[in-house]
C-alpha cells in the first residue's frame, strides 16, 4: 500500500472508521474518514450496478476483486455526496493488475525521482527531462506512464514506433495541440455541471483545431496513429452550435450576462433591444399615456424601490378615478 500511495499521491484519501494501519497514512493530505457501511461489498455492488445500469459486474472483469469493489463503491458514494449531483459520465470500471506493470516500492520511486526530487520539488526529475508535451492532458498521461511502466512488449513497441513516426511532424503538430488546451478538465466540469462560460469558449476553440489536427495526422506512416485519427471526431455540429451561441470572449460567470451571441435567439434579441432602448421606450410610453388619459402631468419612471412606475399627482388621480396609476404626494 505504501508503494501505491507513493505512486498515485492522492489529493484525498478515503479510509474506513476501523482502519487498523493508520501509520501508513498519518501525515498525508486530504484524509477523509468514512462510515463502515460505505465499504460493505453488497452496498458497493448495488452502487456500481445502479451507476452502470447493469445487473452484475462480470462484464467489467472486477467481480472477483472484493476489496477493489468496496473501495470503488465508497469512492462513488463520496463523489456523489461532495458533488451533489449524479455522475452520468462515469460509465465503466477497470482494474489495474500488478502483473501488467513493473512494481516499485515507495523508496525506489523516491530515489528514482520520477516526478518529485529528493527535496520535494519538480526540478531535474525524470518527468521534467522527458516532458515536451504542450497540453496538460499530455503531461498528465506521460507522468502516469512513468509511474506505471508496462510489461507488455507489444504496448512498448507500439509506443516506441508511434513516437518515432511522429518525430518529423512535431513542428506542425505542437502549435495545433497547444491550442487544444486542457479539454479533459473542461469536459469533467461539464459533466459535473460546474462549467463556466469561458470553459465553453475554450472547448469551442479546441474543437476548431480538430480538422487541422486530423489533416496533419493523415500523412503519418503509423498504424496506431491512423487508428487514433479514425476514432478522432471533429464534432462539427457541436462546434457550429458553440460558434453561433457563445460570444467570442464571454464573461467569467453566467450571472454577469452577455454570454449568448446576438442572432442566436430571436426572442432574446428582442429583449436585449428593449433593455438597450429602455429610455426611448419609456419616453414613448409616457407620451402615449398622456394622450390616452389626458393628464399632462403624468410621468413614467424607474427606481430601485418600486421598479417601473407611472406617476400622476394626487389631485389628478381623484379627478380621474378610472386611471390605473400610482398616485404620489
> Which CATH number is 317's domain given?
1.10.1420.10
Instruction: Please check whether residue 317 is in contact with residue 323, taking contact to mean a CB–CB distance below 8 angstroms.
Output: yes
Enter the C-alpha cell of residue 16: 474506513
pLDDT value at residue 274: 78
pLDDT value at residue 327: 45
- For residue 219, is it within any domain? no
pLDDT value at residue 320: 54
The tally of domains found in the chain comes to 1
pLDDT value at residue 6: 77
- For residue 202, is it within any domain? no
- For residue 317, is it within any domain? yes
Rounded CA-CA distance 213/207 in Å is: 10
Q: Residue 294: give the domain boundaries.
A: 277-328
Rounded CA-CA distance 265/285 in Å is: 26
Note the Cα 138 to chain centre separation in Å. 17
Rounded CA-CA distance 312/259 in Å is: 39
pLDDT value at residue 325: 47
- For residue 283, is it within any domain? yes
- For residue 285, is it within any domain? yes
pLDDT value at residue 248: 94
- For residue 212, is it within any domain? no
Enter the C-alpha cell of residue 242: 458553440
Question: In which residue ranges of the chain is pLDDT below 50?
Answer: 321, 325-329
- For residue 20, is it within any domain? no
What are 75-82's contacts with CB under 8 Å, separation 24+?
75/14, 76/47, 76/48, 76/51, 77/38, 77/47, 78/14, 78/32, 78/34, 78/38
Helix (H) / strand (E) containing 60: none
Note the Cα 174 to chain centre separation in Å. 23
The two beta strands, 299-303 and 307-313, are antiparallel
Rounded CA-CA distance 148/105 in Å is: 12
Instruction: Please check whether residue 72 is in contact with residue 93, taking contact to mean a CB–CB distance below 8 angstroms.
Output: yes
Rounded CA-CA distance 309/320 in Å is: 18
pLDDT value at residue 322: 52
Amino acid at each position: 500500500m505504501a508503494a501505491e500511495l507513493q505512486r498515485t499521491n492522492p489529493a484525498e484519501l478515503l479510509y474506513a472508521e476501523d482502519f487498523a494501519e493508520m501509520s501508513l497514512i498519518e501525515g498525508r493530505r486530504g484524509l477523509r474518514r468514512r462510515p463502515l457501511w460505505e465499504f460493505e461489498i453488497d452496498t458497493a455492488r448495488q452502487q456500481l450496478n445502479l451507476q452502470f445500469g447493469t445487473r452484475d459486474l462480470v462484464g467489467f472483469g472486477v467481480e472477483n476483486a472484493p476489496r477493489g469493489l468496496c473501495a470503488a463503491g465508497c469512492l462513488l458514494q463520496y463523489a456523489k455526496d461532495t458533488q451533489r449531483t449524479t455522475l452520468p459520465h462515469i460509465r465503466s470500471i477497470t482494474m489495474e493488475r500488478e502483473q501488467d506493470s513493473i512494481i516499485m516500492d515507495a523508496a525506489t520511486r523516491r530515489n528514482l525521482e520520477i516526478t518529485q526530487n529528493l527535496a520535494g520539488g519538480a526540478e531535474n526529475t525524470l518527468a521534467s527531462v522527458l516532458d515536451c508535451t504542450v497540453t496538460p492532458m499530455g503531461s498528465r498521461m506521460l507522468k502516469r506512464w512513468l509511474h506505471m511502466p508496462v510489461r507488455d512488449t507489444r504496448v512498448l513497441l507500439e509506443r516506441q514506433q508511434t513516437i518515432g513516426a511522429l518525430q518529423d511532424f512535431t513542428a506542425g503538430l505542437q502549435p495545433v495541440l497547444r491550442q487544444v488546451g486542457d479539454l479533459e478538465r473542461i469536459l469533467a466540469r461539464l459533466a459535473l455541471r460546474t462549467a463556466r462560460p469561458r470553459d465553453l469558449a475554450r472547448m469551442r476553440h479546441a474543437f476548431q483545431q480538430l480538422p487541422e489536427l486530423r489533416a496533419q495526422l493523415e500523412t503519418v506512416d503509423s498504424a496506431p496513429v491512423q487508428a487514433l485519427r479514425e476514432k478522432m471526431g471533429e464534432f462539427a455540429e457541436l462546434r457550429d452550435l458553440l460558434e453561433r451561441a457563445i460570444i467570442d470572449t464571454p464573461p467569467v460567470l453566467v450571472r454577469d450576462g452577455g454570454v449568448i451571441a446576438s442572432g442566436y435567439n430571436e426572442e432574446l434579441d428582442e429583449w436585449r433591444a428593449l433593455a438597450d432602448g429602455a429610455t426611448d421606450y419609456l419616453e414613448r410610453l409616457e407620451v402615449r399615456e398622456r394622450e390616452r388619459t389626458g393628464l399632462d402631468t403624468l410621468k413614467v419612471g424607474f427606481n430601485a424601490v418600486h421598479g417601473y412606475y407611472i406617476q400622476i399627482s394626487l389631485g389628478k388621480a381623484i379627478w380621474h378615478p378610472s386611471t390605473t396609476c400610482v398616485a404620489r404626494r
